[in-house]
């Protein structure tokens, strides 16, 4: 399978399907219909069948999908089992939460470097990793084989952090900064914006 086979919108749903399959394997379930899988994933079954067809998985009429086989295909597509090095940029509460987050390792990620600009924080140890100086980022990225960065810096520092990360050779970045960033050429950026998520939720609430 080439890396262009899966449309971006489908790609965002694959981790959800992988999680559902993990659950089923844990519970000893051997086969599952598209309707059952879709319900557990919170999507329409036609959507799920279309998404999985991009992986070459079609299920059998009247039987459904082989849970173990489908899980293996999803894990292969998502690179689970490989190990990706992650640098966390910004070691405040959020950076500490990401660095300490036990859910990364089972899905193939390891926080191998932490950096900050605060001299009070540089040199301390968080989740077993010594915090380095942001200025050392290029060396840390090379030595520790970092392939992804998580930006947990204040909004005002986010563009500089993104530029520094890109200059150090990291090409995949997840930002928690609540602002639009100018993305350097060749870099893939995804953003998590907590206030935006709350705004979307509150649209459905009665007016206050």
Q: Is residue 27 part of the contact set for its own copies (CB under 8 A)?
A: no
Rounded Cα distance between 164 and 169, Å, is 9
Residue-level length of the chain:
208
Q: Is residue 193 part of the contact set for its own copies (CB under 8 A)?
A: yes
| Residue 109 and residue 84 in contact, taking contact as beta carbons nearer than 8 Å | yes
Least distance to its own copies, CB of residue 32, Å: 13
Q: Is residue 199 part of the contact set for its own copies (CB under 8 A)?
A: yes
Which of 7, 79, 123, 169 contacts its own copies by CB under 8 A?
79
Is residue 121 annotated as involved in ligand binding? no
Which of 45, 54, 66, 108 contacts its own copies by CB under 8 A?
108
Which of 33, 45, 147, 159 contacts its own copies by CB under 8 A?
147
Which of 100, 118, 135, 169 contacts its own copies by CB under 8 A?
100
Rounded Cα distance between 2 and 24, Å, is 28
| CB of 61 or CB of 125, closer to its own copies | 125
- Chain positions 149 to 188 lying near its own copies, rule: CB under 8 A, are 150, 152, 154-155, 171-174, 178-180, 188
Q: Is residue 128 part of the contact set for its own copies (CB under 8 A)?
A: no
Write the secondary structure of the chain as one string of H (helix), E (strand) and C (coil): CCCCCCCHHHHHHHHHHHHHHHHHHHCCCCEECHHHHHHHHCCCHHHHHHHHHCCCCCCECCCEEEHHHHHHHHHHHHCECECEEEEEECCCHHHHHHHCCCCCHHHCEEEEEEEECCCCCCCCEECCEEEEEHHHHHHHHHHCCEEEEEECCCHHHHHHHHHHHHHCCCCEEEECCCCCCCCCCCCEEEECCHHHHHHHHHCCCCCC
Least distance to its own copies, CB of residue 169, Å: 12
| CB of 81 or CB of 123, closer to its own copies | 81
What does the binding site for its own copies look like in residue numbers (CB under 8 A)? 3, 6, 11-12, 14-16, 18-20, 23, 40-42, 77-80, 82-84, 86, 92-94, 96-98, 100-104, 107-109, 147-148, 150, 152, 154-155, 171-174, 178-180, 188, 190, 192-205, 207-208
Which residue numbers belong to the known binding site for NAD(+)? 90-95
């Amino acid at each position: 399978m080439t890396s262009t086979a899966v449309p971006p919108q489908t790609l965002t749903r694959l981790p959800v399907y992988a999680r559902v399959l993990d659950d089923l394997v844990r519970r000893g379930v051997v086969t599952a219909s598209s309707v059952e899988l879709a319900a557990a994933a919170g999507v329409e079954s036609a959507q799920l069948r279309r998404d999985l067809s991009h992986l070459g998985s079609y299920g059998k009429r009247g039987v459904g999908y082989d849970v173990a086989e489908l899980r293996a295909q999803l894990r292969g597509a998502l690179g689970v089992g490989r190990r990706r090095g992650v640098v966390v940029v910004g070691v405040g509460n959020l950076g500490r939460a990401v660095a300490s987050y036990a859910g990364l390792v089972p899905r193939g990620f390891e926080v191998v470097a932490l950096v900050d600009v605060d001299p009070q924080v540089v040199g301390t140890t968080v989740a077993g990793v010594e915090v380095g100086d942001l200025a050392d980022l290029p060396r840390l990225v090379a030595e520790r084989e970092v392939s992804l960065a998580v930006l947990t810096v204040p909004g005002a520092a986010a563009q500089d952090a993104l530029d520094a990360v890109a200059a150090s050779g990291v090409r995949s970045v997840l930002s928690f900064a609540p602002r639009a960033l100018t993305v350097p050429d060749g870099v893939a950026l995804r953003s998590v914006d907590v206030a935006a998520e709350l705004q979307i939720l509150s649209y459905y609430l009665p007016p206050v």
